[in-house]
Structure formats: C-alpha cells, structure tokens
Amino acid sequence: MKTNNRIKEAVQRHFDKAKELCAALASHPEISAEEYESSAKFADTLKAAGYRLEYPYCGMKTAFRATLENGEGPAVAVLAEYDALPGIGHGCGHNLHGSLSVLTGLALAELKDLFRGTIHVIGTPDEEVSGGKIAMADKGVFDDLALAVMIHSCAGGFCQADMDALSLRSYTAAFSGQTAHVAASPWKGRSALAAARKFLDLIDARRECFTPDVKVNAIFTNGGDAVNVIPARAEVRIEFRTDAMAKLVAVDDMIKKCARGAALAMDCEENLRLNYNDFADMVRLASLEDEVGRIFTSLGLKMEPISPPIGSTDMGNVSYRCPAIQPLLSISGDPLALHTKEFAEATCRQEAWESMSLGAEALAILVLEVFNDEGFRRKIGEEFQKRRDLKMGRL
C-alpha cells in the first residue's frame, strides 16, 4: 500500500475524534492563558494514543508537550493552538487547526513503521495576547528540531504555502515633569504632555525615511488629570513592526532617541517599558514552501501566492530557532474575515472538517518526508541558517 494511502486511512480513523474536539472547543471557548479544558482535552487525547505527556509545560499552566519516541532519528514538532477571542469565540479558527494538529499526531502514532525519530505535539497557549510560543522559544524548546509546523485557518477557497509576518515590539513611554497651575504660575511647570506630544512629532518627522515594511503606531494612555494643571506625567503606548529582527533593533534605537530628545527639549524625564516580549518576523524557507505547495496541490487544494505580511504571530519566534512553516488552509469557500463570529461558526461545518482532514494528511506527508529524506532535511536546514543570519544582519 502506498504511503499516502496509509496516511489517509490513519487520518480517517481518528477523524471523528478530531471533529469532536473541534466542536467541543467551539461550544466552550476559553480565552488566552485560561484554556484549561481545551488544553486538557488535547493532552488527554494524545496521552491515550501512546504519547508521553508533560502537562503543565514550560512554566505555563495550559501548555503541554506530548512526545512519541520511535528510535534514533531527527525530532519534529507539530504545534497546536486553542485559545479563543473574548466575545467572539474561535474567530481565528484555533479550535479547528488545533484539532488538526492533534489529528496529525494521532495518525503518525499509527505509522511508526514508516519513520525513525521523535514527534512532539506541543500545545501552545495564549497566541492571541502574549504569544505562548515566544516564551517557549526563549527557553530553547524548538532548538535543534528538524522542523516545527502547524497550519492556520483561513477562508475564501484558496490556501497559501506559508504565512508571512512582521516583527513587533511594544513600549509604554512614560514622561515625567512638574505640575503647576496653568494661569497662576505656568513657568514653574514642566509639561510631560508636551514632551509626549513632541515624542510623536519626532517620530513623524522620521517617517519619510522609513523602509516600506516599517509600521509605527501609538496612542496616548495618560495626558494629565485636570485641564488647569500642567501635567507632571504622560504616557504613550507605542508599537512598531519591521520585516526583520535586525531592522527592529534599528527602529528601536530611533524610537529611544526620539523619546530622549523630546524629554530633553522639555526638561522632562523619559522611561520606556516593554509591554510584552517581542514577536519575531517569519524566517521563510523557499525549499519548504515549495514542498508544502506541491503537497497541498497533490491533495486537490487550490493555492494562491503568499500574501505580504500584514500582522505578527508568535510562530515567527519559532522560525528563528529551527526550520518552521505555517501554511494557511481555507476552511470555507466564502470570503470570511478572521476574528469574526461568522468565521467561528464556519469552523464547525462539514466543509471545514473536510479541509481539516486534508490538512492533517498534508502535515503527516511533510513530517514523514523530513524524517525519511536526509537530502531534503539537510537542504531546509542549510537554507534556515542562511536566511536567519540574513534577517539578523549577520550577512
């Protein structure tokens, strides 16, 4: 029997279980870092299939790592998400593509005669807020893996071989000055609000020299308490994105200079505090994307070119640690937007579940190729080293 036929049959044997998981998460959505039932359902299902379970994992109560060791060989990780959005539910499809990752793990557990090596199915919580994969990457969870992979849901009838992303850093910039009455003795004051305004003015003055990928956005979160008092404190929440971590460092330097310059000009003090850990851009690998495109097409999935990056994801941090990819899988022919209730409803339709089945087949085929094709494994490993070094400004 051909390998792909065996994969298809293994996926189908666990298809009903995956549908149950998808529907269960949809009916009881849990927001970021509170995915207690969701993570337990995924983890228990994998443990019952013979995986060795670590849960909680990596210092996060709703993270897990399920491991299947099958002799000497490379290690591959299939990543699973499961957090929902407040007030919307699974409008990003984590219930579906998280269940897809579990389905892939269940199928591969039945195919141990086809590979040698170690499979991890890693539950990665809190993608929508702080990015659970970021902490995992910082602790070395993905180091030395031959591949880390997951699929992300999309809609519209067309799939993409990978999802590009921008790096992201966020600060709260606090400016401190001196209060004074605006009419009686304004000369005694030092306006923190004026310093905060000039901070944003200086950034705007730099925009004409930005490369097209650089995005800087900000809001005032504190501008004083009374209109007749010169504010002694003002705060700005600022986020900036680039297409490479080396560029993020350069923009960071510019942001800090603008903050310091504004504070100096207004005789104030400034302090920049990180709001959360950095989201990295995606280290894309052409050899891996080409193979995913071939696999998807062979399964009858319609493909379109990879879209330019418009946001950020913690999968980018994984991609700086090992060869990684996150294909987009269409779960509906309707042009539904992510982060909507309409998308959440679509995840529990038959069309979406059929896509989930094909997605699990695709991931299983890719994982087995990485295990069994040493030349392919070496190729993506070498490209990963070169692309990562380029993104980090080492080349």
Name the E strands within the chain: 52-54, 64-70, 75-80, 117-123, 147-149, 152-154, 167-176, 215-222, 233-242, 269-274, 324-325, 328-330
Cβ contacts of residue 201 below 8 Å, gap of 6+? 262
Tell me which residue of 225, 256, 263 sits closest to 238, measured CA to CA. 256
- Going from the C-alpha of 10 to that of each of 25, 357, 361, 391, the distances in angstroms are 23, 10, 9, 39
Query: Domain check: are 22 and 62 in the same one?
Result: yes
Which CATH number do you get for residue 199?
3.30.70.360
Residue with tokens 């990295």: 280
Nearest CA among 243, 288, 315 for reference residue 94:
315
As a dihedral over the C-alpha atoms of residue 54, residue 112, residue 76, residue 159, rounded to 10 degrees, the angle is -110
Write the CA distances from 135 to 25, 63, 132, 311, 382, integer angstroms: 24, 11, 6, 19, 25
What is the pLDDT at residue 7? 98
Residues 313 and 339 both lie in one domain: yes
Strand 269-274 relative to strand 215-222, pairing: unpaired
Q: At 113, list the tokens.
A: 């005669």
Instruction: Extract the tokens encoding 54.
Output: 């670590």
* Same-domain check for residues 267 and 292: no
Please name the amino acid found at residue 319.
S
Whether 193 and 260 map to the same domain: the answer is yes
The residue type found at 33 is A
53 and 184 fall within a common domain:
no
pLDDT at 2: 85
**With 0-12 CB in 10 A as exposed, 13-18 as middle and 19+ as buried, what is 225?**
exposed
Length of the chain: 395
- The residue among 183, 197, 207, 384 whose CA lies nearest residue 289 is 384
Same domain, residue pair 175 and 51: no
Based on the domain organization, do 26 and 149 belong to the same domain? yes
CATH of the domain at 57: 3.40.630.10
Domain termination site, one of 209, 244, 274? 274
Number of folded domains that form the chain = 2
What does the pLDDT profile of the chain (395 residues) look like in tens digits? 589 999 999 999 999 999 999 999 999 999 999 999 999 999 999 999 999 999 999 999 999 999 999 999 999 999 999 999 999 999 999 999 999 999 999 999 999 999 999 999 999 999 999 999 999 999 999 999 999 999 999 999 999 999 999 999 999 999 999 999 999 999 999 999 999 999 999 999 999 999 999 999 999 999 999 999 999 999 999 999 999 999 999 999 999 999 999 999 999 999 999 999 999 999 999 999 999 999 999 999 999 999 999 899 999 999 999 999 999 999 999 999 999 999 999 999 999 999 999 999 999 999 999 999 999 999 999 999 999 999 999 87
Q: How do beta strands 147-149 and 324-325 pair?
A: parallel
Last residue of one domain, picked from the residues 227, 253, 274:
274
Same domain, 142 and 7: yes
Q: Which of 375, 387, 374, 384 is nearest to 74 (CA)?
A: 374
Note whether 82 and 120 are same-domain residues: yes
Taking Cα atoms as reference points, which of 1, 105, 19 lies closest to residue 368? Answer: 105
Q: In what order do the strands lie in the sheet with 233-242?
A: 215-222, 233-242, 167-176, 269-274
Residues 126 and 201 in one domain: no
Do residues 92 and 161 both lie within one domain? yes
User: Residue 67 — φ and ψ, nearest 5°?
Assistant: -125, 135
- 345 and 383 together in one domain: yes
Domain end residue (candidates: 248, 274, 300): 274
Distance CA 96, CA 360 (A): 11
Q: Within 10 Å of residue 118's Cβ, how many Cβ atoms?
A: 19
Cα–Cα nearest to 88, from 348, 334, 344: 344
| Full domain range(s) for residue 249 | 167-274
The DSSP output letter for 146 is S
* CA distance linking residue 300 with residue 48, whole number of Å: 32
